[in-house]
Structure 1
Amino acid sequence: MRVHKVTFAALIVAASLSLTACQSDDGGTGKSDSSSGSTAASSGGGSGSGASDGGSGQGGANDSAGTSGKNGGTNSAGKSSGGQDTAAGTGSAGSGKAGKCRTDELEITATDSTVSGDPEGTVAVRLKNRGGRDCTLSGYAGVDLKTNAGSLSANRTGEKADRTVLKDGQSTYFGIQYPINRTGGSGVRITGLLVTPPDETKTVTLAWPGAATLPATEDSASSVKVGPMGSAGQGG
């Protein structure tokens, strides 16, 4: 009986130990699962890491952009920027879009261009581009003669006015026609020439290079005419 009791006690102890071992194993398994869950979260954090990687990817993109900005990217940005500048420059030059010529950019002079035997006198006015850039002239200049009887405005000839592109250093001319005083009288004395380039308001005052006087007749004023840009020597 004692043997049975001892055996039973031994069995109880063994069972108890076995149960403890099982619980210990289960607890270990639980911990292991928990650890697995952490790993999965870490993996999902890996997704978060992926976000982090994505962030890393963004950081990488930023780094790449930064690298682009500093090294090859600077070149890339430089090329892009330079390309735009170049394209703009080329477009501007290619399209021939030059701004209008300003009075201050032009060297304006006048010379007597009357041909012997002509019924009328002619003065040629030269406009030379000194602005350091291409510019355009189109239409008619404003022309006034200063006389001892007051200012006299020239009338336009009515010829077609073409657009002229002047490169830096180039010139264009227009003509002024006026009646020659053959009356034998003193006539109307011309004291100066006022020229205002097309589409400008600033006027240049020049010495008058033509005949000293106009005939003192009523139609003298209407007989002074100005031609468009490029018309010197062409009837105006």
Structure 2
Amino acid sequence: MRVRKLTFAALAVAAGLSLTACNGDDGTAQSDGSSSSSSSTSGGGSGSGGSEQGGGKDDSAGKSSAGSGSDAQAKAAKCRTDDLDITAKDSTIDGDDEGTVAVEFKNGGGRDCLLSGYAGVDLKTSEGDLSAERSGQESSPMVLKDGESVFFGVTYPLNESGGSGVKVSSLVITPPNETKSFSVEWPGAATLPVTDGSGSSVKVGPMGSAGQGGAS
């Protein structure tokens, strides 16, 4: 009887130790699995990837906005003398106190170009060169489209003195911001009155100061 009781007690202790060891192994495996899954989510995955993608969209939007702004628009270059067909016609109206010549700039350069300010105008006369003075009218920059024209006026006093006056042969025109000139035959009255030399009696207006109708 004593020996049997000891045997039962030993079996009971062994069974208890075996059950405890089994439960400990299962708990440890579940804990390791849970920790690994959590690390994967916070370390990489959609959280980090979403942040990087968001940054990419912001950069793209900024570049698109800059590209569509005014810096991306082409600016017209200035009109060169060689780009312009320059002609002049008398546009004096009967009864006017002074004569008028309308000068036409027609853009034949194959591209739009920019005109800004006044053209330089000199008259070749029997008494030497006579430079026209600016009329003082406001001048605004303008883009002259390819194939289109703009007109400006040159005004001068009429010779009503009965004398021979000063003979005019040609008109020398220099487009705004250019150094190359172009000469055309003078289409206005044959002579100007003789002046005392105190100042130019010939005036030039800004771009657009003469109408197409006046020059036709």
Fold match by TM threshold 0.5 = yes
Maintained 8 Å contact 2:164/2:191: no
Distance 1:179 1:51 in 2: 90
Residue 205 of structure 2 corresponds to 227
Q: Structure 1 residues 147 and 19 mapped into 2: Cα distance closer, same or farther (>3 Å)?
A: farther
Q: Structure 1 residues 173 and 22 mapped into 2: Cα distance closer, same or farther (>3 Å)?
A: same
Residue 123 of structure 2 corresponds to 145
Letter aligned with residue 206 of structure 2 = P
Residue 49 of structure 2 corresponds to 58
> How big is the shift at 1:16?
2.1
Distance 1:121 1:208 in 2: 16
Distance 1:174 1:65 in 2: 56
* Structure 1: 5+ residue stretches without partners: 1-6, 69-76, 93-97
Aligned partner of 2:21 among 10, 27, 33 = 27
Distance 2:192 2:103 in 1: 19
Aligned-partner SS, 1:19:
helix
Residue 183 of structure 1 corresponds to 163
Letter aligned with residue 184 of structure 1 = S
Q: What is the CA deviation profile of residues 99-148 of structure 1, one whole-angstrom value per residue up to 9, with x for unaligned ones?
A: 57523554332223345676644321112244666666454322223456
Distance 2:122 2:2 in 1: 140
TM-score of the two chains, using structure 2 as the length reference = 0.66
> How big is the shift at 1:34?
0.5
* Structure 2: 5+ residue stretches without partners: none
Q: Does 1:206 align with 2:204?
A: no
Q: Structure 1 residues 58 and 151 mapped into 2: Cα distance closer, same or farther (>3 Å)?
A: same
Maintained 8 Å contact 1:153/1:221: no
Runs of 4+ in 1 over 6 A off after TM superposition: none
Q: What is the CA deviation profile of residues 24-45 of structure 1, one whole-angstrom value per residue up to 9, with x for unaligned ones?
A: 2111111111012112213423
TM-score of the two chains, using structure 1 as the length reference = 0.62
Q: Does 1:158 align with 2:141?
A: no
| Identity score, percent | 41
Task: Report how many residues are paired.
Answer: 205
1:97-176 alignment, distance < 5 Å: 101-103=78-80, 105-115=83-93, 120-130=98-108, 137=115, 139-147=117-125, 150-161=128-139, 166-176=144-154
Maintained 8 Å contact 2:139/2:206: yes
Q: Does 1:9 align with 2:3?
A: yes
Maintained 8 Å contact 1:148/1:191: no
The structure in which a higher percent of residues are helix is 1
Maintained 8 Å contact 2:118/2:175: no
Q: Structure 1 residues 102 and 135 mapped into 2: Cα distance closer, same or farther (>3 Å)?
A: closer
- Relative contact order, higher structure (CA 8 A, sep 6+): 2
Distance 1:10 1:25 in 2: 23
Aligned-partner SS, 2:118:
coil
User: What RMSD over aligned residues (CA atoms) do the two structures have, in Å?
Assistant: 4.4
Letter aligned with residue 173 of structure 2 = L
Aligned-partner SS, 1:109:
strand
Aligned-partner SS, 1:223:
coil
